[in-house]
Amino acid sequence: GGVRTLDELLAIRSIGVTRVGATATIAIMEEATARGITDTPTEIILKSTDHLQSGY
């Protein structure tokens, strides 16, 4: 289980989660940078989360 991708992180943020511990933090941040996401607030379009599996 756990958050491993930027899409998973964005999905849980969209439901109100504000704190996440992830061992894949570096990979998530690199993916965000590659998509042009910076520390400036940005509106993004979430991908479908239907494929995500629940770890709990």
Domain residues for the domain of 7 are: 1-46
**pLDDT for the residue numbered 50:** 67
**pLDDT for the residue numbered 52:** 60
What is the tally of structural domains in the chain?
1
What does the pLDDT average to over 34-55? 78
What does the pLDDT average to over 9-37? 91
Q: Does residue 53 form part of some domain?
A: no
What does the pLDDT average to over 32-49? 85
Asked if residues 46 and 14 have their Cβ atoms less than 8 Å apart, the reply is: yes
Q: For the whole model, what pTM was predicted?
A: 0.71
Q: Does residue 52 form part of some domain?
A: no
Q: Does residue 33 form part of some domain?
A: yes
**pLDDT for the residue numbered 55:** 58
For 1-56, give the DSSP string. ----SHHHHHHHHHTT------TTHHHHHHHHHHTT--SS----PPPP-TTPPP--
Q: Does residue 27 form part of some domain?
A: yes
Q: How many CB atoms lie within 10 A of CB 24?
A: 16
